[in-house]
Amino acid sequence: MKSTLLTKSLSFTNPDFGCKPEERHIEEYISNAVINLDKTSGPTSHEIDAWVKRILHCEKTGHSGTLDPKVTGVLPVGIDNATRAIQLLLSAPKEYVCLMNLHKEVPEEDIRRVFNEFTGKIYQLPPVKSAVKRELRARNIYYSTIYEINGRDVLFRIGCESGTYVRTYCHNIGEALVVGAHMAELRRTQAGSFNEKNNLVTLQDLTDAYYFYKEDGDESFLRETLMPMEVVADHLPKIIVKDSAVDAICHGADLASGGVSKLSDNIQKNSLVVIESLKGELIASGNALASSNEILESQSGFVVETSSVYMKPGVYPRLWK
């Protein structure tokens, strides 16, 4: 659900400091960019990182939400400064299209009944080969839509909480149907605000765009291929701060009530929020110490405990002691 911005204090930004993310100089644009990459079947996610690094001649790259080698689809990759910010996507909802193969034929009504039962809160045991501790944990399935049933093959789309294992989901459905099942093919179609309709590009697209920039001096294709790192926070509630508060936060300070200009209406106490400038620049993220209404009414005190800083100090003037 899209949030609405509430105004706590009407503020204006100084054009001499910072800039809108899409207006950054091309070199700064690249080093603060993310790619909505269409991963192919075969390479690991870490191999994709290495290839992007080689194509753009950047210092470092990093992805969010590792995909197995055979899995295709949306793989957000951060460049240089954006490699830390892209971790904000780890908690974002995910969506997949999956082809599941049942080990024996089952009446269609039974398949649809079990899929309905596997919607909402479910419990999963991560697979043996996983990066997390192997213990039973709850995950939310927001929707699970069957597109086609052809014999023992079931094609479906699933929207789920981060950390859901679709391979395990298929295995558990097979167990519930008492016939067994396995995941035959999987494609990720969405991770947070990254999806197949939002500037999805291939490694070849990236290579061509960088060539036009370096050889012909045309940066337009590169700007279309890359996106400002700020998009990684689109799924999170935000607090927009005054220019006077920016540099203190860049030095790791917590956000005080007096520095707030605008805020999302869906902030809950102890939830993750992002802090942005009036120009839309991503400054930091942290833990909300109060709800939206409480922040609006507060006259003093801290409202966000800063945990990660993404903007370098000195972009805005130092107005604190």
Query: For strand 272-276 and strand 238-241, is the pairing parallel, antiparallel, or unpaired?
Result: parallel
Burial of 261 (0-12, 13-18, 19+ CB in 10 A): buried
How far apart are alpha carbons 217 and 30 in whole angstroms?
15
HEC string of the chain equals CCCCEEECCCCCCCCCCCCCHHHCCHHHHHHCEEEEEEECCCCCHHHHHHHHHHHHCCCCEEECCCCCCCCEEEEEEEECCHHHHHHHHHHCCEEEEEEEEECCCCCHHHHHHHHHHCCEEEEECCCCCCCCCCCCEEEEEEEEEEEEEECCEEEEEEEECCCCCHHHHHHHHHHHCCCCEEEEEEEEEEECCEECCCCCECHHHHHHHHHHHHHHCCCHHHHHHCEEHHHHHCCCCEEEECHHHHHHHHCCCCEEHHHEEEEECCCCCCCEEEEECCCCCEEEEEEECCCHHHHHHCCCCEEEEEEEECCCCCCCCCCCC
Q: Which two tokens stand for residue 88?
A: 């904000």
Q: Active site residue: 16, 38, 49, 68, which one?
A: 68
Under 8 Å between Cβ of 125 and 90: no
Q: Is 218 a catalytic residue?
A: no
- Catalytic residues, by residue number, are 68
